[in-house]
Structure 1
Amino acid sequence: MASAEQIIWLSDGTCGLGPLREDLAEEYWRWDEDPTSLIGYGRPVPESLKSRTQGLQQQLLGRNIRFTVYDVTEAGNPVPSGMTTLQPDNYVRTAEYILVIAPEARGKGLATRATRLTLDFGFHVANLRSIWLKVLAPNKSAVRVYENAGFEHVGALRQAGYWRGAVCDELIMDALAADFSGPSVLASDSKAPSGA
């Protein structure tokens, strides 16, 4: 039987998604509090490890859909490399998407792959019809990740954020279940549900 740190629910062969792990609280905190992450979030105030650990306890019990992102390129040794979150609004079957990738794991394509896998789960398991996000307009690398994963630009909140101390727009992007194109690691014929 696999231990908690080895559970991978979805994988495309390069990137995998598994459950949040209590033993990774300090890593999650480190990724979130990295200065480049804070700039990307537009949040200038770091959070303490104690606060983040207490928050993780609530997240482990919460209603949001959260994944640990793994680099699974080294067989038998998945490396925790980030987190994705879907914050659903069950009344209208939509969710906000949030992503953080460990600084040392950036530039490997994991962000796009993790986003694509999370969309796959959101549309094919959680039965969401729309997933949306906000991203600061100057954060060009994040915008490319989201575009490559299937998000489209739908608007902007003017002067709603800060990027490196300057006021900027916050872009709104979304992906629709009706537009989500394959390949899906969940919807393929080879991944038939148990009992089918």
Structure 2
Amino acid sequence: MMTNTPPTAPVPLRAGTRLSLALAREEMMQEYHRWETDPATVVGFGARWPVSWEVFRARFRTGHTSAHSQLFEVITAPGGTPVGSTALSVDQSVNSAEFTLVIAPEQRGRGYAAEATALTLEWAFTIASLSSVWLEVPAPHTPAINAYLKAGFRAAGRLRSAALWHGRRVDKLLFDCVPDDLGGNSGDSRCLGHKKWLAEKK
């Protein structure tokens, strides 16, 4: 007689005020894929098409065993409910990483994006010892931009007509963050300013 294997509980790695970073779980792949293929997510990435299941699964499994990328599941701190994911794709030649964020469609509008971003930046600088983290976003995507700025990113440039947004060409904005943007100069003190920001949200 076959029995259903209960899902593993998320493993928290970094706790904030309302959210925690956790290890990504293979059993959650279909949920991650659902979040990423939501039409609003596709538009937010400035893309044309959603990623197919086959491509997503291969990318997940390759990234899961690579030293060049890290996918985090974002969960609520009290209950462990999955609300989104963040990822760091590392270019080791310059010790930098591209940041991406996906919030589950049903969890949007609750202010989770800024804290999820802040927690990932803390990990990037205090644990992974990266020198910088960067991202790109379509210029009209104001909610995402506000969340990134709140978490510590700064404007770094503009690529003209380089993204798609609801059927039209728009500029793509570049943002980056270095440890000094979050306060401090070395070790865990790099994120003292960031931790103060998180504490003020309690």
Task: Tell me how far 1:184 sits from its aligned partner.
Answer: 5.0
Distance across 1 between alignment mates of 2:174 and 2:51: 25
The residue number in structure 2 matching 1:45 is 49
2:28 is equivalent to residue 28 of structure 1: no
Correspondence 1:15 to 2:19: yes
Post-superposition offset of 1:108: 1.4
> Where does residue 102 of structure 1 map in the other structure?
104
Q: 1:56 Cα shift?
A: 1.7
Match of residue 177 from structure 2: 175
Q: Which residue of 2 aligns with 1:85?
A: 87
The separation in 1 between residues aligned to 2:71 and 2:95, in whole angstroms, is 17
CA contact (8 A) 1:71 1:110 kept: no
Rate the CA distance shift 1:50–1:89 in 2: closer, same or farther, 3 A: closer
1:55 equivalent to 2:59? Answer yes
Q: Structure 1: which 5+ residue stretches go unaligned? A: 186-196
Question: The residue matched to 1:58 in structure 2 has which SS?
Answer: helix
Deviations 1:139-173 (Å, cap 9, x if unpaired)? Answer: 00000010000011111011101100110000001
Q: Secondary structure at the match of 1:66?
A: strand
The residue aligned with 2:143 is 141
- Which of 67, 71, 92 is equivalent to 2:72? 67
| 1:47 CA displacement | 2.3
Q: CA RMSD in A?
A: 1.5
Q: 1:112 aligns with which of 111, 114, 119?
A: 114
- Structure 2 Cα separation of the partners of residues 67 and 4 of structure 1: 15
Matched length:
180
Cα deviation, residue 45, structure 1: 1.2
Deviations 1:114-161 (A, max 9, x none): 100000000101111111110100000000010000011111011101
Q: 1:94 to 1:163 in 2, by over 3 A?
A: same
- Whole-angstrom distance in 1 between the partners of 2:170 and 2:17: 37
Amino acid in the other structure paired with 1:11? A
Contact 2:133 2:177 in 1 (8 A): yes
- Which residue identity does 1:120 align to in structure 2? E
- Percent identical: 34
Alignment match of 1:123 (pick from 122, 125, 146): 125
Unaligned ranges ≥5, structure 2: 1-6, 184-191, 196-202
